[in-house]
Amino acid sequence: MVKIEVNGEWREVDPGPDDTAVELLRDGLGLTGTKLVCGGGVCGACTIHVDGEPVVSCLLPVAALEGRSVATVEGLTRDGHPVPRAFAAHAALQCGFCTPGFVVEAVAFHDRWRAEHGTAEPPAEEVAAALAGHLCRCGAYAEIQAAVREACAGRFDEPGELSGPRREAGEKITGAARYTVDIRHDGQLEGVLLRSPHAHATVGTVDLSGALAVEGVRAAVELLGADRTVRYAGQEVAAVAAVDRRTAEAALAKIVVEYRKLPAVIGVDQALADGAPTVYQRGNRKPPNAAEGTATPAPWKGNVRGPMALFSTHRRRARNLIERARAAGDPLLVEGDFRTQAQAHTTLEPHAAVARFTGDTLEVHVSTQAVAELAKLIAKRFSLPEDKVRVIAEHVGGGFGSKAGVHAETVAAVTLARAAAAPVRVVFDRLAELSVTGHRPAARISLSLLADRDGNLAALRVHAYGDAGIAIGSMIAALGRLMYPAPAKELVDYDVVNHTPYGLPFRAPGAPPLSFALEQAVDEAARRLGRDPIALRQKWDPDPGRQRLYRWAAGLPVWQRESRRTGRFRRGVGVAAANWLYLWESDCAVALSVRGGRLTVSTAVQDMGTGSRSVLAATVAAGLGLAPSDVDVQLGDSVLPVGPGSGGSRTTATIAPAALSAVAKLKAELVARSRLSGARAAADGIRYAGGVLPWPEAIAAADDLRVEAKRPPDDATLSRSAPRAMAGAGVLGALFPVMMRLQGPMRIGRGYPSGVQVVEVEVDTKLGRTRVLRVHGGIAAGKLAVPELAAAQARGGIIQGVGFALYEERQFDPGTGLVLSANLEDYRIPGIADMPEIELHFDTEGYEHVPGGGVGLGEVATIPVAAAIANAVYDATGVRQYELPLRPDRVLSGKGAT
């Protein structure tokens, strides 16, 4: 027996030899604020205090806690400590999954600092060093940094509520927020998956009897597809549900699978080799789609799907112009072969699902970015009526594109729950997360860009080979049609399938890879033309939003400064522009209900850290003269009115206009029911013969009522001043919105959400390290629904872009196809000390046709980062970068080539 004091209470527990503190706290004591993320002490999410010192609980045996005092986030935040208030006030979090760990560490740092320094504000570097063991994938580092410094400075000593711009911040800061991994039903079983160790094999029998014979096992099922073929190492083969995880894992080892190994191709080189084995046989090509839209039909040759060249214009002319220029040695022909790597989404909450059948109704808690759609997909997959499936996601610990659709964790949980007739939870470990749950497809891009003597863009040629593993749908070159109009463009996309895990959409699919190639080529063209890179973009790029951003960027003092190209530490400045799409969903609705004089807004959207709760509350409150705290919010439940998936930056652009429509409907309903003489709706309230009844009073006095409104179309008159949807894409561009309308509820609106970023870097030419010192991020996406959270999205997108540019890289074993970088030590995401200073500039014009005046910006913020950094590295070193990430060895290897 081990005696431990937990949050002030002595407990006696009887641990197994391998039981760790995090398991005891979460599963044994129900203190689920402590999160298990990496299992290796790298990410800090599981940090607890032991005798007042923050330590890693995922590696700490329970036995080591004998006689010691443990404090978790729940205990540390209940007595009015200033750090939680500072986190809430600064909205120092997004998805919130890392937040308890940060808070626990920050409380200790705060107390230490105050004891030694009083209320002096700690320097940023000191805070960063203290928090160096904590990772936030959403990128809330700037807000965290500010919160900790100000708490130390005594600015949050005054007792009070946890309040700030992010509505659910308090729950996340105190560890009360329930994520899918925290769900615990009575009699709930734990499900684990058996995965193929082979990259390519057909599977004969799967003998589950050994697993079923293990005591504590309640179900074992097969998870193979109809063709009984595994096409990547780590593909799920079977699953077991048992009373606990260890029992289930022990049972997995008893399953006997008859694999017939087949030759495999790992990566693009092997897939393209002569005589390479093919991933899909003719007539049996059913690859998953890594794109957000439907894949267009294309020819196959071996493992190559393509060419897909629909977005080209005057293709032959482009080719001829470029070939002639090459033959003539034209210096205005810029060419390069670029490589971008696979980027893992690395959501801190793993993929997880908890399935439970109650009668004939299936309820599934899922860590998903599409509750409404997922309920339909699950119903279809398991042949259930749609009204018998309910999907719940109260809080989602990050998605970034990897959590839309029905994935293996959901299939396994539902299948096991059905077989075991008991609730089953399936939670992936970090090895699976970083191996098989999706990634931004890697790419090879050959790009040729030709300028003419007058400095015009004459031709562009982009051939992009996407590597999404066994998946298809890479669309990179095609995006080159939407920026920098030119008389001739050859834009060709290919997929190269190979026996590695499937890619998925990731924050602006296809755009960062193209940007890395295209924006560096534009930079090089400017250099050869002897023009300023911003001035050249102003000449080539007609987009009105970006034109305004270019004027802002050109005026930045840093843009005028000279680069420092001598000595060990070289400094440079680079620019890159970004273009994205404005999407929204037409079938979505928002409901407003008044119950007992209090207002609730609801829709089946989910909040994966982007701030949907805050957007809904702020939008509704502003329309009615209420404070956001006067509005209750319900979301994350598929029984609510249909809400959008969180992808394609469409969430806010869908729910904010729908909420405004609902507000208008509510006002009309309140007027109709007021029975006041001459009543009509005015901005401030119900105007009537006796004066004005303000909206808040009208709501407080109203009988219970409910209204619901769909997302209205954009204003047709105001639209005329905005660029057409898919402007610059010719006939195809004109057809595109029509085709979209025929396919489903997704709509594409007028205007390109845009970005222009100016980045300053310092390159250590001795040790090869590139530091991003400052990012000036300009974004044109209209008005901001909640300015603080829009800024947080932008900063997060920039920090993920820094990771893509400098650190993140998936590594394979070339023989087996196993992902080797399947832990957070080897898959390196940016930490708090890697964060640049970020200065944001929002251009709020141009979206007057959208109700509310703004669109989404989560994606456009991340697109240009790597390109701008590469241009800045060139400015500093004189060496062009062709491959991401810009690792020390890559930055140094080009050093001599100046």
Q: Which residues bind another protein (CB under 8 A)?
A: 17-18, 20, 39-42, 44, 47, 53-56, 58-61, 63-64, 105, 128-130, 132-134, 197, 233, 249, 431, 567-568, 766-769, 771, 806-807, 811-816, 818, 820-823, 825-826, 828, 830-831, 833-834, 887-889, 892-893
| Residue 568 or 675 having the CB closest to another protein | 568
| Residue 427 or 640 having the CB closest to another protein | 427
Question: How far is residue 426's CA from residue 211's CA, in Å, rounded to a whole number?
Answer: 17
- Give the amino acid at 574: G
| Residue 133 or 597 having the CB closest to another protein | 133
Q: At closest approach, how far in Å is the CB of 510 from another protein?
A: 26
Q: At closest approach, how far in Å is the CB of 897 from another protein?
A: 14
Q: At closest approach, how far in Å is the CB of 656 from another protein?
A: 37
Question: How far is residue 454's CA from residue 615's CA, in Å, rounded to a whole number?
Answer: 47
Question: How far is residue 849's CA from residue 496's CA, in Å, rounded to a whole number?
Answer: 41
Cis preceding linkage at 15, omega within 30: no
Q: At closest approach, how far in Å is the CB of 770 from another protein?
A: 8
Kind of pairing between the strands at 236-242 and 217-222 = antiparallel
Question: How far is residue 533's CA from residue 758's CA, in Å, rounded to a whole number?
Answer: 11
Q: Using only C-alpha atoms, what is the Rg of the chain? A: 28
DSSP secondary structure of 365-412 = EE--S-HHHHHHHHHHHTT--GGGEEEE-SB----TTTTSS--HHHHH
Question: How far is residue 655's CA from residue 620's CA, in Å, rounded to a whole number?
Answer: 11
| Residue 400 or 827 having the CB closest to another protein | 827
Q: At closest approach, how far in Å is the CB of 56 from another protein?
A: 4
| Residue 735 or 767 having the CB closest to another protein | 767
| Residue 16 or 555 having the CB closest to another protein | 16
Single out the residue of 21, 391, 394 nearest to residue 176, CA to CA: 394
- Per DSSP, the three-state class of 536 is helix
For the beta carbon of residue 629, count every other beta carbon within 10 angstroms.
Answer: 11
Cis preceding linkage at 542, omega within 30: no
Q: At closest approach, how far in Å is the CB of 403 from another protein?
A: 24
| Residue 282 or 568 having the CB closest to another protein | 568
Q: Is 139 left (phi over 0), alpha (psi -120 to 50) or beta?
A: left
Q: At closest approach, how far in Å is the CB of 60 from another protein?
A: 6
Question: How far is residue 153's CA from residue 159's CA, in Å, rounded to a whole number?
Answer: 15
Query: How buried is 678 (Cβ within 10 angstroms: 0-12 exposed, 13-18 middle, 19+ buried)?
Result: exposed
- Helix residue ranges per DSSP H, 258-338: 267-272, 315-327
For the beta carbon of residue 89, count every other beta carbon within 10 angstroms.
Answer: 22
Question: How far is residue 270's CA from residue 518's CA, in Å, rounded to a whole number?
Answer: 27
Q: At closest approach, how far in Å is the CB of 20 from another protein?
A: 6
| Residue 652 or 823 having the CB closest to another protein | 823
| Residue 57 or 719 having the CB closest to another protein | 57
Cis preceding linkage at 885, omega within 30: yes
| Residue 130 or 379 having the CB closest to another protein | 130
Question: How far is residue 171's CA from residue 593's CA, in Å, rounded to a whole number?
Answer: 24
| Residue 199 or 424 having the CB closest to another protein | 199
Q: At closest approach, how far in Å is the CB of 252 from another protein?
A: 10
Tokens representing 551 are: 């004027």
Single out the residue of 592, 720, 594 nearest to residue 663, CA to CA: 592
For the beta carbon of residue 627, count every other beta carbon within 10 angstroms.
Answer: 11
Measuring CA to CA, how many Å separate 775 from each of 129, 303, 840, 868? 21, 40, 8, 9
Residue with tokens 């008005």: 783
Question: How far is residue 208's CA from residue 221's CA, in Å, rounded to a whole number?
Answer: 7
Single out the residue of 329, 350, 306, 528 nearest to residue 438, CA to CA: 350
Partners of 595 in the beta sheet?
A: 598
Q: At closest approach, how far in Å is the CB of 246 from another protein?
A: 10
- Give the amino acid at 409: E
Single out the residue of 270, 811, 821, 198 nearest to residue 497, CA to CA: 270
Q: At closest approach, how far in Å is the CB of 876 from another protein?
A: 16
Measuring CA to CA, how many Å separate 466 from each of 298, 496, 498? 14, 6, 11
Question: Which element (helix H / strand E) includes 250?
Answer: helix 245-252
Q: At closest approach, how far in Å is the CB of 47 from another protein?
A: 5
Do 792 and 140 contact (CB within 8 A), yes or no?
A: yes
Partners of 771 in the beta sheet?
A: 762
Single out the residue of 592, 620, 850, 626 nearest to residue 709, CA to CA: 592
Q: At closest approach, how far in Å is the CB of 52 from another protein?
A: 11
Counted residue by residue, the chain has a size of 898
Do 338 and 517 contact (CB within 8 A), yes or no?
A: yes
| Residue 128 or 653 having the CB closest to another protein | 128
Kind of pairing between the strands at 424-427 and 189-195 = parallel
Q: At closest approach, how far in Å is the CB of 411 from another protein?
A: 22
Q: At closest approach, how far in Å is the CB of 53 from another protein?
A: 5
Q: At closest approach, how far in Å is the CB of 429 from another protein?
A: 8
Q: At closest approach, how far in Å is the CB of 318 from another protein?
A: 38
| Residue 258 or 813 having the CB closest to another protein | 813
Q: At closest approach, how far in Å is the CB of 198 from another protein?
A: 10
| Residue 551 or 887 having the CB closest to another protein | 887
Residue with tokens 């009309």: 668
| Residue 129 or 627 having the CB closest to another protein | 129
| Residue 58 or 746 having the CB closest to another protein | 58
